[in-house]
Structure 1
Amino acid sequence: MIVIKVLLIIIAVLLFGLMIFIHEFGHFFTAKLCGIRVNEFSIGMGPTLFHFQRGETKYALRLLPIGGFCAMEGENGDSDDERSFYKKSVWKRMLVVVMGAVMNIVLGLVLMMILLSQESAFNSTTVAAFAKNSAFQAAGLKEGDTFVSVDHYRIYGDRDLSFALATANPSSVDIVVQRDGKEVTLNDVKLNTQTIDGKTIVSLDFYVEPIEKNFGTLLTKTVQDTVSVVRLVWYSLISLITGKFGFNDMAGPVGAADAVGQVITSGLKESFLAGLNNVIYVMMLFTVNLGIFNLIPFPALDGGKLFLFIVEAIRRKPIQEKYVAVVETVGFALLMCLMLIVTYSDILRLVTGKGLGG
């Protein structure tokens, strides 16, 4: 059992490395295609463990597995090389910046397909039957109804439905369904709940119609479920900003490692395959999160650079380098502060059971 758990942890670490690699490779191969000189392509941060030179580029593996980088000539705007980053058109720079996040989401698609390919059929959002004493049925939901929205959260697939119901107020939920070609609204629906490990969760006391599995539905479901995860990440970020989710709902590297350990332990209670699938699922969430988070228009993130390039494209002239440097330096400092606070909260949660948010 211990050997199997260690093996799954090694797989998780390798998948985490793949997640970093695929992000930096997105920047790397796009830069090469755009004719930009890449000085170093590195996986990991800190002291160099291993490196080799191939042509103009140094390839390195570094000690700390917490990130990576693709060092392009003139990224800081201080190069006269015609192949430097800032010598290229703003459209090429935008493409290079955004491709890291795009590759993370592509990896999410691949991992999602691996998980879904093991299913015998897929879940729809159309009600097929109800459990005994169903709160949904008592509220007016009928067989054949297809969910349209839950508390104004649009439902496109079963993952959207599960997430919307899990985050809704169970004492009052507004549900819109499609019935006989018309939209029907069920207001203030009260749902059945149960308490597990001190947490109150909604009981899904209805069943949905299956979707036959074939190559076409597998592709459709893969894209649909990955888009659902992207929407979930954006919704969660907005909820953190607006206060719906608290600081305690955030997790950093320590919290992520703890989550991986928990899903491995949980899955191994069933089988090795269940543990492996749990690891793949968590890594799918992580890579999509990384992709979306990097597109946030915040200084020091890819999204911050993208925003500046969009401004440059609109103005048709670059922003002065001194202003860009100040913004990125301040942004990086704030990002590091946030990372330290979140990591401290993770450690506090492991020790006391509660993070900084209570």
Structure 2
Amino acid sequence: MGLTTIIFAVIIFCLLILVHELGHFAVAKSVGVRVNEFSLGMGPLLFQFTRGDTEYSLRALPIGGFCRMEGEDEDSADPRAFNNRPIWARALVVVAGSFMNLVTAILIITCIAMAIGVATNGVAAVEGGSPAAEAGVLPGDKILSVDGEKVSSFSDVISAVGGSEGATVSLEILRSGQKMTIESGVTVNDSGRRVIGVTSEIRKSPGVALTTGVSSTFAMGGQMLDYLGQLFTGRGSMDDLVGPVGIVSMIGDQAKLGLINLANLTALLSLNLAIVNMLPFPALDGGRLLFLIIRLFTGKAVSDETEGKIHFAGMMILFAFMAYILVKDVDRFIF
């Protein structure tokens, strides 16, 4: 694990944590919650200054950060305390961190799409002698559907053709404003994938890039939620989980492949942080949101002090779980 990998890892961790905590901080300030301290990093204090009623600090360990609000985990008489603000305001503060990580993932993927372009369902070239060429597919055509399955990107075309089973596929084509249907044969390439022999048209535009950023982020989010569902129902394996050591190793691998790959991993980590933080578990933002919903229907049946103790217990469980993952990471990625 080289110095370059460690530097990239620190930058990425600090970026994702800063974005997350800035979300909490900005919304807390906007709804009138008093923020006592905003910190990047954990552990020993390196630098601190005060502006207004908030202390801004930089700490030695780049493994976290926090936005410490008055009345967040205890009862406070301060009218600006978190516990004294309306439930809707507290809910906005709680979800703001994960929302910012979600937006960060979208922006990163959008920037990637702007940099390298997006493979569309338009045909840029047709390989000579390929099934598509023999069927009459021409450069400039736009593939609208494959065997009746609508497609909107080249990945959709690849998936539809790859998942087909017959000797031919039916292509709905848009050519010069006219729709037509073409029957194309299918061949198998060197990778064993079913293809028809067309190359995608690459487009670079803000609109296409943003659409790709949003759709790709939500597609990745769906896959993450599906995996979490498998994990909690016993259909998934804990062996697939990685902690900080594993993530640093992945960052090193992707950094060797270039900045685009590293940026894509950063987006994935940001989205992962957003989703995991919204799980309804004590100490996580999702757990805090769950207690707010309970408060909405029961009032203060659960006191601030009791909730704080539950969150503390949840934090201890999370620390234990992270220690378990850390041991597995060290065994897999170091020894």
TM-score when scaled to structure 1?
A: 0.73
Larger Rg computed on CA atoms: 2
Deviation (angstroms), 1:204: 6.5
2:292 paired residue among 309, 321, 332? 309
1:236 equivalent to 2:230? Answer no
Q: Distance in 2 between matches of 1:148 and 1:257?
A: 44
Alignment length (residue pairs): 304
1:245 paired residue among 236, 252, 262? 236
After superposition, residues 338-357 of structure 1 pair within 5 angstroms as 338-351=321-334
**Corresponding position of 1:289:** 272
2:68 paired residue among 21, 46, 71? 71
After superposition, residues 6-155 of structure 1 pair within 5 angstroms as 10-124=7-121, 145-146=145-146
**Corresponding position of 1:222:** 213
Q: Distance in 1 between matches of 2:224 and 2:10?
A: 22
Paired amino acid for 2:207: G
Deviation (angstroms), 1:326: 3.5
Paired amino acid for 2:278: L
Paired amino acid for 1:261: G
Deviation (angstroms), 1:29: 0.8
Q: Distance in 1 between matches of 2:152 and 2:289?
A: 29
**Corresponding position of 1:271:** none
Q: Say if 1:157 and 1:225, in contact at 8 Å, map to a contact too.
A: no
Task: Encode CA deviations 1:119-147: one digit per residue, 9 max, x unaligned.
Answer: 24424499x989x999xxxxxxxx86449
Task: Encode CA deviations 1:173-198: one digit per residue, 9 max, x unaligned.
Answer: 899x9976xxxxxxxxxx9997xxxx
Query: Percentage identity across aligned positions?
Result: 35
Q: Secondary structure at the match of 1:40?
A: strand
Q: Say if 1:48 and 1:60, in contact at 8 Å, map to a contact too.
A: yes
Q: Distance in 1 between matches of 2:100 and 2:312?
A: 26
Are residues 320 and 115 of structure 1, via their aligned partners in 2, closer, same or farther at CA, if it must alter by over 3 Å?
same
Are residues 161 and 279 of structure 1, via their aligned partners in 2, closer, same or farther at CA, if it must alter by over 3 Å?
farther
Are residues 118 and 311 of structure 1, via their aligned partners in 2, closer, same or farther at CA, if it must alter by over 3 Å?
same
Q: Say if 1:12 and 1:283, in contact at 8 Å, map to a contact too.
A: no
Paired amino acid for 1:100: G
Task: Encode CA deviations 1:309-328: one digit per residue, 9 max, x unaligned.
Answer: 11222335562234323421
Gaps of 5+ in 1: 135-142, 150-154, 181-190, 195-201, 268-274, 353-358
Q: Secondary structure at the match of 1:51?
A: strand
Paired amino acid for 1:337: A
Are residues 337 and 34 of structure 1, via their aligned partners in 2, closer, same or farther at CA, if it must alter by over 3 Å?
same
Deviation (angstroms), 1:26: 0.4
Q: Distance in 2 between matches of 1:93 and 1:174?
A: 50
Paired amino acid for 2:206: F
Q: Say if 1:8 and 1:276, in contact at 8 Å, map to a contact too.
A: no
Q: Distance in 2 between matches of 1:9 and 1:277?
A: 18
Deviation (angstroms), 1:240: 1.9
Gaps of 5+ in 2: 132-142, 173-187
TM-score when scaled to structure 2?
A: 0.78
Q: Distance in 2 between matches of 1:335 and 1:251?
A: 14
2:262 paired residue among 267, 275, 279? 279
Are residues 264 and 90 of structure 1, via their aligned partners in 2, closer, same or farther at CA, if it must alter by over 3 Å?
same
Structure 1 stretches of 4+ moved >6 Å: 155-162, 177-180, 191-194
Q: Distance in 2 between matches of 1:125 and 1:311?
A: 51
Are residues 8 and 89 of structure 1, via their aligned partners in 2, closer, same or farther at CA, if it must alter by over 3 Å?
same
Q: Secondary structure at the match of 2:116?
A: coil
Q: Distance in 2 between matches of 1:62 and 1:256?
A: 22
After superposition, residues 156-235 of structure 1 pair within 5 angstroms as 203=193, 205=195, 209-210=200-201, 212-235=203-226
Q: Secondary structure at the match of 1:76?
A: coil
Paired amino acid for 2:53: E
Q: Say if 2:37 and 2:69, in contact at 8 Å, map to a contact too.
A: yes
